[in-house]
Amino acid sequence: MTEQRKLRIVLVIVGLAAAATVTQVACEGAPINFQLFAQGGQPAKPDYPIKPVAFTAVHLNDEFWAPRIEINRTASIPSAFEQCELTGRVNLFERAAAVLRGEKNVDTRPPGYPFDETDLYKVIEGASYSLSVTPDPKLDAYVDGLIAKIAAAQEPDGYIYTTRTINPQAPHRWAGPDRWVFERDDSHELYDLGHLFEAAVAHHLATGKRTLLNVAIKAADLLVKTFGPGKRTIWPGHQITEMALVKLYRVTGKEEYLTLAKFLLDERGPGPYPEGERANPRGLTYNQAQLKVIEQSEPVGHAVRAVYMYSGMADVAAVTGDQAMRAAGKRIWDYLVTSKLYLTGGIGASGSGEAFGQPFELPNMTAYNETCASVGMDFWNHRLFLLEGDAKYIDVMERTLFNGLVSGVSLDGKTFFYPNPLESNGQHARQEWFGVACCPGNITRFMPSVPGYLYATKGDSVYVNLFAKGTANIDLPGGAITIDQDTRYPWDGAIKMTVKPKQARRFAINVRIPGWARMEPVPSALYRFIDNAGAGPTIKVNGDLVPSPTLSPAASGLARGYFTIDRTWSPGDIIQLDLPMPVRRIVANDKVIADSNRVALQRGPIVYAAEWPDNPNGKVRNIVLPDSNTLTAEFRKDLLNGVEVIKGRAVGLAFDAKGAITRTEQPFMAIPYATWANRGRGQMAVWLARVDAAAKPTPFPTVVTTAEITASPLPNGRGKNPRNIIDGEEPANSSDSTAYFDWWPVQGSKMEWVELKFAKPSMVSTSEIYWFDDTGRGGVRVPASWRLLYKSGNQWLPVETTSTFGTARNAWNALTFKPVTTPALRIELSMQQSFSAGLQEWKVK
């Protein structure tokens, strides 16, 4: 085992006057000697210097989280299990077991994806967390039944990967001809096992049963036997196995799992690879193998894979003391919060490759911000806090948690977003399930664990990181304490904490003063408040104001974002934290082109969005919100399960019939971003125009804008809506990512179509198309060829033309044809070999 080490987290002592009741102390790093998941009877091993207080010890009865956690238990988990049954995910295990029993006539067709089994693992993990808080014998028994099916699908040597077991000769085409050889590409064998391990640990800790844990151990032992120093090499094409192995190590104490986790990280990089094995053809940056992990600085590639890997790096750094890995994680985080973080805390700007964009490339309508990436962000930020003891990681975690993560699930817990854009023209809606169904499962497993993010301990001191009404039972070396929080956070910044040690004794409580309450929306220059903060936060202990943790950390008792109160606490002592919550205006760094001349609104930790039902004419992209207009907040208990809304006056822009702009003074309202899209499809915007030029008024209705548009469907149905093609907005160029439609990831198709059905038969004679093409960034190109048809009776007939069917980039491709009076037009196109296709805009006259 690695050497026992001491991690010194020295809290800077600043000039705090020695008050009778409050002093600032430097917390000398104690030996790292606890486990993330407490295991009775096991010897202490090195781990994170800060220990989270488990979600099972924190009971919330607040307005924001408690209802969401309950809906997750009563709606999301049952519906996700149901989907796993309906879509054949459970059946995959049954079929694999049947093959192993030697049954004949088993359905050997491959699954939709070789990672379909992870969805079941994730929901079992979520159900286990839920069971550990709320006993439910029926759910417990159902999970037992699923685990029996999983165990029966495991091959005798521990291998578990249903598509290969079901049909070793012809598994899913991503699986590769043999075990592991396509792992660096997209076989997902290790990814599947990672989710199995996470589920197994959760189930074991929740129920004490070893059924799923034994399956996981058997599979992990196969990995240890196969891979590692002096054995075969490998690294996961889709990360998660690294952090999952660390969890399995904590529960079992088997150090070979930790060694393997570190090996999987150390081996990652640009080859060479053994013969017959290959990396992902999308390139090494796609799954963060462009450099050795300890050499990386920039977050790149597939965002979910990235944050899962960074989480694993933090775990391995914490447990092994690997300082190079620790430093790499901090560098990558700095890069991310400086240039690749959305205001909602989402990450992953680009749908192409589900990936990070370039620095400051943060488009709003096409923002990918996968729900899973937000979940991974919170895993990672929490781990960095546990490693570094700095509240800046909690600031980012809180931003993601309250905004870009909970936006992933509807208020009724039944539908989910895959991407979480910051602007919509009505093309986005949550769905019950997806072909690639990672996001619903991730929500089900994340929500029950939210109370575990509130508190942490280090030695005999406590960190209060998040605020929510409820009770925490916290074990400290000097004796257990209880902290009761009474607050309406996030709607109100008044937080009353009652501290209850068994008897009076001295210890320190570190109270986080959120960045947003200190003029710092993010710990970088990416976003800044533009208005006056007003009064700063205050803390009182038993009614006495203590030196204020005001806005300048250097001049206050604030260190690393915490206000430390080190005193003798008596049962019933009260801390009153007041975090004023005025409505704040935020602007982005000038380098973020998508947000230029735009403003966003935040109140407390909540980022706001204007949505169509609350603003005149069902439009918000046309709104101009001048900086001088006063905004107020008001609680609406009738709306969206009870939310604080922002109200004021704005200006609405519109086009008249002559194409001139009209300006109308009108009321304005914004709702918490996370609650948008619960009232049907329509416009939404987080970044609102500050000046007329930035607003996007809807064009005056034409034959096209009033038409109905449909396109050949995508196999995965990931919420792309062809309406963007006729939104009347002029594209800046072919790669403009504001509002387009494409068929990605369909490539090389010879037959895709778009149809325009007019409100009434119309005479048309010209068509102008602006193709979408993201050369240099993605896999979409102008089409190889296309043609235009019109509807005549039940037939589609080609238009009569002498024009050429243009495929120019960055230009309008005009086509004139013999006038026809028709109810509908249709484009048919053929993609270039190995590329997809798409349209920015289509005009018809």
Q: How far is the CB of 695 from Zn ion (least distance, A)?
A: 33
Largest CA distance in the chain: 92
* Distance from C-alpha of 70 to C-alpha of 85, rounded to nearest angstrom: 22
Alpha carbon distances (Å) from 780 to 360, 365, 813: 22, 18, 17
Cβ proximity to Zn ion, 308 vs 743, nearer residue: 308
Strand 683-685 relative to strand 795-798: parallel, antiparallel, unpaired?
unpaired
Residue 401 gets which letter from DSSP? I
Cβ proximity to Zn ion, 25 vs 436, nearer residue: 436
Kindly provide the b/e burial profile for residues 11-24, where b requires at least 16 CB atoms within 10 angstroms of the residue's own CB.
Answer: beeeebeebeebbb
Residue 500's φ and ψ, nearest 5 degrees, are -130, 85
Q: 372 near 393, Cβ under 8 Å?
A: no
Per annotation, catalytic residue among 27, 84, 438, 439 = 438
Q: 63 near 546, Cβ under 8 Å?
A: no
* Distance from C-alpha of 252 to C-alpha of 39, rounded to nearest angstrom: 9
Assign 652 to helix, strand or coil: strand
Nearest to 194 by CA among 133, 247, 251, 272: 247
* Distance from C-alpha of 801 to C-alpha of 260, rounded to nearest angstrom: 65
Cβ proximity to Zn ion, 363 vs 408, nearer residue: 408
Cβ proximity to Zn ion, 198 vs 595, nearer residue: 198
Q: How far is the CB of 215 from Zn ion (least distance, A)?
A: 24
Residue 333's φ and ψ, nearest 5 degrees, are -65, -45
Q: How far is the CB of 57 from Zn ion (least distance, A)?
A: 29
* Distance from C-alpha of 10 to C-alpha of 367, rounded to nearest angstrom: 39
* Distance from C-alpha of 138 to C-alpha of 135, rounded to nearest angstrom: 9
* Distance from C-alpha of 142 to C-alpha of 495, rounded to nearest angstrom: 40
Q: How far is the CB of 483 from Zn ion (least distance, A)?
A: 34
Cβ proximity to Zn ion, 431 vs 816, nearer residue: 431
Per annotation, catalytic residue among 155, 198, 354, 752 = 354
Q: How far is the CB of 735 from Zn ion (least distance, A)?
A: 25
Cβ proximity to Zn ion, 417 vs 491, nearer residue: 417
Residue 439 gets which letter from DSSP? H
Cβ proximity to Zn ion, 99 vs 438, nearer residue: 438
Cβ proximity to Zn ion, 418 vs 507, nearer residue: 418
Cβ proximity to Zn ion, 416 vs 453, nearer residue: 416
Q: How far is the CB of 420 from Zn ion (least distance, A)?
A: 10
Q: How far is the CB of 312 from Zn ion (least distance, A)?
A: 18
Q: Cis omega (within 30 of 0) on the bond before 697?
A: no
* Distance from C-alpha of 225 to C-alpha of 215, rounded to nearest angstrom: 16
* Distance from C-alpha of 683 to C-alpha of 613, rounded to nearest angstrom: 9
The answer to whether 354 is a known catalytic residue is yes
* Distance from C-alpha of 234 to C-alpha of 256, rounded to nearest angstrom: 16
Q: 51 near 476, Cβ under 8 Å?
A: no
The CB density around residue 181, as the number of other CB atoms within 10 Å, is 19
Q: How far is the CB of 437 from Zn ion (least distance, A)?
A: 8
The answer to whether 267 is a known catalytic residue is no
The pair of structure tokens assigned to 318 is 């914490």
Cβ proximity to Zn ion, 428 vs 598, nearer residue: 428
Kindly give, in sequence order, each residue whose CB lies less than 8 Å from that of residue 72, ignoring residues fewer than 6 positions away.
Answer: 126, 130, 409, 413, 443, 444, 447, 448
Q: How far is the CB of 86 from Zn ion (least distance, A)?
A: 19
Q: 783 near 829, Cβ under 8 Å?
A: yes
Q: How far is the CB of 371 from Zn ion (least distance, A)?
A: 5
Q: What angle do CA 262, 268, 270 make, to 5 degrees?
A: 160
- Residue 632 C-beta-side C-alpha neighbours within 13 Å: 6
Binding site for Zn ion (CB under 5 A): 370, 372, 438-439
Residue 476's φ and ψ, nearest 5 degrees, are -125, 155
**Which residue numbers are catalytic?**
354, 438
